[in-house]
């Protein structure tokens, strides 16, 4: 059975300075590498799921986002961390698409017979991440490394609240 951690990007893995898109904006949050290593050692596949409305708003291009993501993935690879895939929604909230978190379209292809839904999680710093987990029937961890303090809805029903990814990995391991 495949256990998956669906990870938000900005505010969860990388510092969120607002519409992060340049390689120079890369700023991995503390304990991210150690948390990802621990999750990976527990047998989890790691998949990034990110809303990138800056593309739809014209702030940056899809190519710029891919360049940033490739840099992030390559930096993590140097620490023996494997990100299996990056899933993204380029639309603005006004577009009302099916792929923007908290909707589940981006992660539904992983709901195969060998998917271990009972032991898979969404980890993120916003209510949309927690709602994605709730909508998909997954467990969730709200990390307080990003926007959670600014997002009053972010405490809505996470399975766990964690200080960072290492704390999240510890809570998942001890669940």
Q: ω before 102 within 30° of 0 (cis)?
A: yes
Residue 8 annotated among the catalytic residues of the structure: yes
Candidate list 10, 125, 129, 151, residue with the active-site label: 10
Domains of the chain (ranges; CATH) run 3-173 (3.40.50.1000)
Mean of pLDDT over the chain: 94
User: For residue 146, what pLDDT band results from cuts at 50, 70 and 90?
Assistant: confident
Q: Which of 8, 16, 151, 167 is catalytic?
A: 8
Residue 151 has pLDDT above 60, yes or no: no
The answer to whether residue 88 scores a pLDDT higher than 90 is: yes
Is the whole model's pTM more than 0.75, yes or no? yes
pLDDT of residue 153: 53
Instruction: Work out the average pLDDT over 25-52.
Output: 97
Residue 149: per-residue pLDDT: 54
The reply to whether 164 belongs to the active site is no
Question: What is the full DSSP assignment across 152-172?
Answer: GGGGSS-SEEESSHHHHHHHH
CA–CA distance, 59 with 71 (Å, rounded to integer): 19
Determine the pLDDT at residue 170.
Answer: 98
Q: What are the tens digits of pLDDT across the range 97-129?
A: 999 999 999 999 999 999 999 999 999 999 999
Taking residues 23-33, what's their average pLDDT? 95
Q: What angle do CA 118, 47, 40 make, to 5 degrees?
A: 75
What is the C-alpha separation between 140 and 158, in angstroms, rounded?
5
Give the pLDDT band of residue 17 (cuts 50, 70, 90). confident
For 54-72, what is the mean pLDDT?
97
Q: What pLDDT does 148 receive?
A: 58
């Amino acid at each position: 059975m495949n256990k998956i951690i669906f990870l938000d990007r900005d505010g969860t893995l990388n510092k969120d300075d607002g519409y992060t898109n340049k390689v120079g904006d890369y700023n991995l949050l503390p304990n991210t590498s150690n948390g990802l290593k621990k999750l990976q050692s527990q047998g989890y596949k790691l998949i990034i799921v990110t809303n990138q409305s800056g593309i739809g708003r014209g702030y940056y291009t899809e190519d710029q986002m891919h360049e940033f993501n490739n840099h992030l993935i390559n930096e993590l690879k140097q620490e023996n961390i494997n990100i299996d895939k990056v899933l993204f929604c380029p639309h603005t909230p006004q577009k009302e698409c099916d792929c923007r978190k908290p909707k589940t379209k981006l992660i539904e292809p992983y709901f195969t017979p060998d998917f271990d839904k009972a032991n898979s999680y969404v980890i993120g710093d916003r209510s949309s991440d927690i709602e994605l987990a709730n909508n998909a029937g997954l467990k969730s961890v709200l990390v307080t490394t990003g926007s959670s303090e600014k997002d009053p809805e972010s405490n809505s029903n996470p399975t766990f609240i964690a200080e960072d990814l290492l704390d999240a990995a510890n809570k998942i391991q001890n669940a």
